[in-house]
Amino acid sequence: MKTAITEMFGIEHPIIQGGMHYVGFAELAAAVSNAGGLGIITGLTQKTPELLAKEIARCHDMTDKPFGVNLTFLPSFTAPPYPEYIAAIREGGIKIVETAGRSPEQYMPALKAGGIKVIHKCTSVRHSLKAEQIGCDAVSVDGFECGGHPGEDDMPNMILLPRAAEELKIPFVASGGMADARSLVAALALGAAGMNMGTRFIATKEAPVHGNVKKALVAASELDTRLVMRALRNTERVLKNKGVDRLIEIEREKGASLKIADIHEEVAGVYPKVMIDGEMDAGAWSCGMVAGLIRDVPTVKELIDRIMADAERLIRDRLTGFLDADSKAALKVA
Ligand SMILES: Cc1cc2nc3c(=O)[nH]c(=O)nc-3n(C[C@H](O)[C@H](O)[C@H](O)COP(=O)(O)O)c2cc1C
């Protein structure tokens, strides 16, 4: 399949693996890129720019295909040394960066000087337009369904994607709630040039996380995520667990006066406990509603091949079938 995104990034299939804290290591990024998608290493999971440089080198050892690095610009007072992270990215020969969080405006000159294509992930049309205006090459439009930070507008992708298509000149991928061929074909119909998946890629053989995390995703339904930290305007969609129940109880008690310190135990340092130790009740970790569509733990290649083969069937048989008066395929329910 050829789209503006496959051409821009030099990849075979229009499928991107979004940056994920304590999941987006070289093993997963390389597996996605080797399967013809775009794998992404999560920059800030590497505690120093030197460690990121090593992770990039490890990924180069595992794939000759293009892969990217995610740089999340956090709303924090003690900002990580972003210029040094960008230097590690440039010196590592990376040509694609997924930015997220705050606007990457301040860092665009350094990224562009390195010949890097920037895809900014954001949750609204206005932030997408801002990304276009500051010179981003593409946008990852992240709907309310998404795992992680859906923003504060609560705009689901059925509205957000066609609105983005109406306004943007640069290409965009659909992010949030994407799981399979149906997601991809729907995203293309709504104006996107591909899709970005987070949660779905965690339930793959190569995702370097504890088996309990994969089991929890297969077991979860679409009703099992919760929104936390709304009062802090830092809303996050997470998988429900005992730690999250505690967090929600504290949020209920504190109301609008909630401070980050009140929920420190339920949000700080949770990722290594969940992803490495498999402590599923440790606290808040990002997870999308799409968990309700995850039923197996395939290899990344099996997942991507299945998506592309099913997408072709969906388009050729089901969709064109609607236009063909004699077609039986089009009358099938799904
Ligand atoms: C466990 C997990 C950790 C994530 N960590 C980050 C992160 O560090 N930076 C970032 O930009 N996005 C992060 N995301 C968001 C994903 O890149 C992606 O945008 C999101 O998962 C898409 O929604 P989906 O989960 O419905 O596919 C994370 C998502 C998950 C599930």
Say yes or no: CB of residue 21 within 6 Å of ligand 1. Answer: yes
Give 122-149 pLDDT, tens digit per residue: 999 999 999 999 999 999 999 999 999 9
Convert the pLDDT of each residue in 99-118 to its tens digit: 999 999 999 999 999 999 99
Among the listed residues 277, 274, 296, 294, the one whose alpha carbon sits nearest the alpha carbon of residue 285: 274
Burial class (CB in 10 A: 0-12, 13-18, 19+), 155: buried
Whether the pLDDT of residue 327 is over 80: the answer is: no
The residue with tokens 């997601």 is: 183
Q: Which residues on neighbouring strands pair with residue 101, listed in sequence order?
A: 73
Q: Tell whether the model's pLDDT for residue 325 goes beyond 90.
A: no
| 157-186 pLDDT, tens digit each | 999 999 999 999 999 999 999 999 999 999
| pLDDT at 156 exceeding the cut of 80 | yes
Contact (Cβ atoms closer than 8 angstroms) between residue 239 and residue 220? yes
Tens-digit pLDDT profile for residues 207-257: 999 999 999 999 999 999 999 999 999 999 999 999 999 999 999 999 999
* Closest C-alpha among 54, 121, 61, 45 to residue 275: 45
Ligand 1: centre distance to CA 2 (Å): 25
Helix (H, G, I), strand (E, B) or coil at 11: coil
Query: Pocket of ligand 1, candidates 16, 21, 145, 235: which has the most ligand atoms within 8 Å of its Cβ, to mutate?
Result: 21
Angle, CA 190 vertex, CA 239 and CA 285 arms, to 5°: 15
The token pair at 44 is 């800030």
- CA-proximal residue: ligand 1, atom 11 (nearest): 100
Cα of 331 vs centre of ligand 1, distance in Å, is 36
Residue 86, SS3 per DSSP: helix
4 Cα–ligand 1 center, Å: 23
Give the tokens for residue 114: 């390195």
Quick check: 328 pLDDT over 80?
no
One-letter amino acid of 4: A
| pLDDT, tens digit, 9 for 90 and up, residues 84-96 | 999 999 999 999 9
The chain-wide mean pLDDT, for the chain, equals 97
Q: Answer yes or no: is pLDDT of 79 > 90.
A: no
- The CA distance from 62 to 319, in Å, is 38
The b-or-e profile of 191-210 (16+ CB within 10 A means b, else e) is bbbbbbbbbbbbbbebbebb
Q: What is the radius of gyration, based on Cα positions, of the chain?
A: 19
Please state the rounded mean pLDDT for residues 47-54.
98
Task: Read off the pLDDT of each residue in 67-75 and give the average, rounded to a whole number.
Answer: 93
Average pLDDT over residues 266-281: 97
Q: What share of the chain is helix, strand, coil (3-state, %, to 5)?
A: 45, 15, 40
Question: Is the CB of 151 within 6 Å of ligand 1?
Answer: no
Q: What is the dihedral of CA 274, 278, 282, 286, to 10 degrees?
A: 40
Per the CB < 8 A criterion, the answer to whether 72 and 198 are in contact is no
To the question of pTM greater than 0.95 for the whole model, the response is yes
Q: Is 36 within 8 Å of 10 (Cβ atoms)?
A: no
Residue 77 predicted with pLDDT over 80: no
Ligand 1 near 225 CB (within 6 A): no
* Percent with pLDDT over 70 in the chain: 99
Q: How far is the CA of 122 from the centre of ligand 1 (A)?
A: 11
